[in-house]
Structure 1
Amino acid sequence: GRARMGLGGRGRVGAGPQGWVAASCYVRFRPEGKLKITQSGSLQLAMATESPVGKLEDEVTCSICLEYFKAPVSIHCGHNFCQACIDQCWGESETNFSCPQCRETAQQRNCKPNRELGRIAEIAKQLSLRVAAGEEGRVCDLYEEDLKFFCEEDRKLIGLIYRDPLRKIANVTLDPDTAHELLTLSEDGKTVSWGGWHVLPHNPKRFNLAPCVLGCEGFISGRHYWEVEVGDGGDWWAVGVARESVRREEWIRCDPEEGIWALSLHTNQDFAFTCPLTLSWSPKRIRVSLDYEGGQVAFFDANSWASIFTFPLASFAGERIFPFFWVHGDDSQLRLYP
């Protein structure tokens, strides 16, 4: 069946042995089946972070499928998506067409082909293939050569794209100074598990009641992502991001009002945040994606690239944002990948 997302209010988590929940609900995604990682997708992860091709590539990627745009269309708010992706996202709706990125709603379906963006996406794809083939030194020459085929407006657009920040793979490690006393961290700082009682020195950064730990590095700008192996999950876990000012001395809830944007799995069906999720599959590895300036936190199945949930228009209020992890109960463990 379709993955679905309950909207609004508190309530019982959807049917099944495990309940997926998120702290607030703004978007509904209904993925049909699983997405495949294509050659272009693999190249996207392998691109050098400072490469001009990488910067261009980052801006010609559909935020739904995470692939190069295919037959891109502009919708009512001006955001762009693959035609097939937005059709799948909206399904058979006849009204209230909501943008998956900014949540602006229109009463009528409005999709205009964006052929210029499609051509730019094709250039980015070809350049990335050349880079992968070992032609990094010729990228700028190739870029200028390909621009000869574009009109002045296209060249201006690509110039702007080149100056945009690039989403970066974050090498996240766990901060032992923030870890609750009932959590055990691996020596490499990549794994957190429940169990054991550790007598630790007082630290104002440490979570005293909630079984949480933060990543060492926080972010105040840019777009970043990291992946977390959740396996079978255990009793209760959550992954996401948190403000630096999140409370440490008291019990906390995993929701934006607390400064936490997280996806959680809990075996107790009576426990729910404001948005229960029912998925038709059980992701084993979660990709957490943070767009600081865009105010967006998104979650994907890292193996299939299927979208799980997105928090748009988050309010970070200029604070540093940290990777966030919650582990509770027997057999509960999370591991950062790689």
Structure 2
Amino acid sequence: MDAVELARKLQEEATCSICLDYFTDPVMTACGHNFCRECIRLSWEKAKGKKGRRRKGSSFPCPECREMSPQRNLRPNRLLTKVAEMARQHPCLQRHDLCQAHQEPLKLFCEEDQSPICVVCREAREHRLHRALPIDEAVQEYKLKLEEDMECLREEMARTETLQAQGQQALAEWQAKVKERRERILVEFEKMTLLLVEEERRLLQALKEEEEETMARLSERQASLDQQSHGLEMLLLRLEDRSQREPLQMLQDMKDTLASKDSLHVLCPEATPPTALRTVCRVPGEVEVLRGFQEVVVPDPTSAYPYLLLYESRQRRYLSCPPEASGLCGKDRFVAYPCAVGQQSFSSGRHYWEVGVNLTGDALWALGVCRDNVSRKDRVPKSPENGFWVVQLSKGRRPLAPVPAPGPVTLPEPPSHMGIFLDFEAGEVSFYSVSDGSHLHTYSQAAFPGPLQPFFCLGAPKSGQMVISTVTVWVKG
């Protein structure tokens, strides 16, 4: 028997028939067969699970000859332990060092077939015309290629993680929008004196369906990114494992290894855009009920910005004075903005008024209420902290804030007619679209700090007109 055949025989004797690997802690059954202790234990545990209680306390079959053997009769085979260790260390049994066809050392790497070969393979017809490199040179070259692929995969994973974070943020923002809109629908229905249960249910159902539809779309996108991230991670782990193996092990099946990265299709969808709610908060008849508190609001000419023109249609005359005679230093006049306040001041009760809007420019307008003592000489942010409870109007310039913000809310597509409802005792100022009765925004707080006045602010010359009761207002160009 030659050395190769003897080595193979040694390998066969040192191999467990269950795991097909060298013995680890070998034990002998009553019938004389040997197995790894863990392998036979798992085999019998599996047999015990299949047979159930009928096998409880009984013997178990030998995986080799099926002879029954008590489990407690397993005996350690120390001699076989030494044989397995010798087989592991035997140079002829290193599984990846010899050519399977010629039993020669694998010293070359065929670049055409992307696999290690021996010197006999090199002279064979199938490799004779191929370019071959020494193993050491091939290891250096392909290790660099693997590192480049791993770096590429890391970058793809980073991009995917960014998209995952954006998707999670989009889901959170969408849930916040849905929560705010749901709360607003409930509050608006509570304002109504009539019990509109059916309409409330319809609107909530519409919002729920929209929420589920959009959440399903965003969740599907997120699941796709999660799956892609997992695939990238698994491939990266395989490449990392391959790059850290012994040279010959690393180069085994290199063609398939590199092809797995090249065949990977990485999706890089754009960041999730902000989603606008389609379901509006609209309580049938609410505007008609609010009109029961309607006031005849008229801008106060003495408070108007010097170049703000006020024309009273009933009397067919201008209420504002020429700039040179308007008293620019008057304490009541706005000089920082093209603004004006109403003649009335409200310190209690409920009040409602409507304003016609005709925007032709891209400047910001503002509507709402303000304290009667706000700064009229300086430019200050129009926020509740500074005494302004207003919405800003623009032609598609800014998005509507998803939740009440410190500053004014901006409506990018303002309605042609807006209704403003002040409930002084409740600490609320609400805004409505008169044309379709939908709720636009509500400021809510514990109490107002003092008397409030209707507030009107135009953008700039040639930016349109505002109609308040019977008064038309615009900025002189």
Give the TM-score taking structure 2 as reference length.
0.37
Kindly indicate whether residue 414 of structure 2 is the aligned counterpart of residue 286 of structure 1. Answer: no
- 2:195 corresponds to: 69
| One-letter code aligned to 1:177 | T
State the 1:266 CA deviation: 3.2
Matched, 1:256 2:381: no
Structure 1 residue 255, shift from structure 2 partner: 1.1
Aligned match of 1:83: 201
Partner secondary structure for residue 246 of structure 1: coil
- Alpha-carbon separation, structure 2, partners of 1:328 and 1:215: 18
Relative to structure 1, is the Cα distance of residues 71 and 219 closer, same or farther in structure 2, using a 3 angstrom cutoff? same
| 1:310 correspondence with 2:442 | yes
| 2:372 pairs with one of 211, 221, 244 | 244
- Listed one character per residue, the Cα deviations across residues 153-172 of structure 1 (whole Å, up to 9, x for unaligned) are xxxxxxxxxxxxx9610110
> 2-side partners of 1:220 and 1:228: how far apart?
21
Change in 2 beyond 3 A, CA 1:176/1:276 = closer
CA contact (8 A) 1:193 1:334 kept: no
- Structure having the higher Rg: 2
For the residues of structure 2 that align with 1:263 and 1:324, how far apart are their CA atoms? Answer: 10
Q: CA deviation at 1:246?
A: 0.7
**Is 1:266 aligned to 2:394, yes or no?**
yes
Amino acid at match of 1:82: E
Q: Partner of 2:432 in structure 1?
A: 300
Shift of residue 328, structure 1, vs aligned partner: 2.0
1:207 aligns with 2:334: yes
Partner amino acid for 1:84? Answer: R
SS at structure 2 position matched to 1:84: helix
Kept after mapping to 1: 8 A contact 2:395/2:414:
no
Letter aligned with residue 253 of structure 1: P
Q: In structure 2, what is the Cα distance between the partners aligned to 1:252 and 1:211?
A: 13
Give me the whole-angstrom Cα distance separating, in 2, the residues matched to 1:277 and 1:173: 24
Within 5 A, what are the aligned runs for 1:153-168?
Answer: 168=293
Structure with the largest fraction of strand: 1
Does the alignment pair 1:180 with 2:305?
yes
- The residue aligned with 1:226 is 353
Shift of 1:269: 3.6
**CA distances 1:269-322 after superposition (whole Å, capped 9, x unpaired):** 47998465566x6410000111000000111101110111111126412x1110
CA shift, 1:28, in A, is: 3.7
CA distance in 2, matches of 1:87, 1:189: 47
Kindly indicate whether residue 155 of structure 2 is the aligned counterpart of residue 29 of structure 1. no
Q: Which has the higher contact order (CA 8 A, sep 6+)?
A: 1
Q: Distance in 2 between matches of 1:63 and 1:189?
A: 38
SS at match of 1:62: helix
Correspondence list, 1:95-134, <5 A:
none
CA RMSD of aligned residues (A): 4.2
Which residue does the alignment assign to 1:20?
A: none
Is contact 1:233-1:334 (8 Å) kept?
no
- C-alpha separation in 1, matches of 2:209 and 2:383: 28
Alpha-carbon distance between aligned partners in 2 of 1:257 and 1:174, rounded to the nearest angstrom: 24
Contact 2:353-2:420 within 8 A present in 1 as well: yes
Higher helix share: 2
2:385 is paired with a residue of what secondary structure? helix
Residues 155-191 of structure 1, C-alpha deviation per residue, up to 9 Å, x if partnerless? xxxxxxxxxxx96101100101110112111135999
Shift of 1:267: 4.9
Percent identity reads 26
Q: For 2:360 and 2:394, locate their aligned partners in 1 and report how far apart those are by CA, in whole Å.
A: 9
Give the Å deviation of 1:228.
0.4
The 8 Å contact of residues 29 and 308 in structure 1, kept in 2 or not, is answered as: no
1:209, 1:250 within 8 Å by CA — same for their partners in 2? Answer: yes
Query: Aligned partners of 1:189, 1:311: CA distance in 2, in Å?
Result: 34
User: Tell me, which stretches of 5 or more residues in structure 2 are unaligned?
Assistant: 1-176, 183-187, 213-290, 471-477
Instruction: State the alpha-carbon separation in 2 of the partners of residues 297 and 283 from structure 1.
Output: 18
Task: Identify if the C-alpha distance between structure 1 residues 278 and 297 changes in structure 2 by more than 3 Å, giving closer, same or farther.
Answer: closer
CA 1:274–1:243: 2 relative to 1, 3 Å = closer
Q: Is the 8 A contact 2:357 2:465 kept in 1?
A: yes
Alignment partner, residue 325 of structure 1: 456
Tell me by how many angstroms 1:222 deviates. Answer: 0.6
- How far apart are 1:224 and its partner, in Å? 0.8
Query: 2: CA distance between counterparts of 1:170 and 1:263?
Result: 20
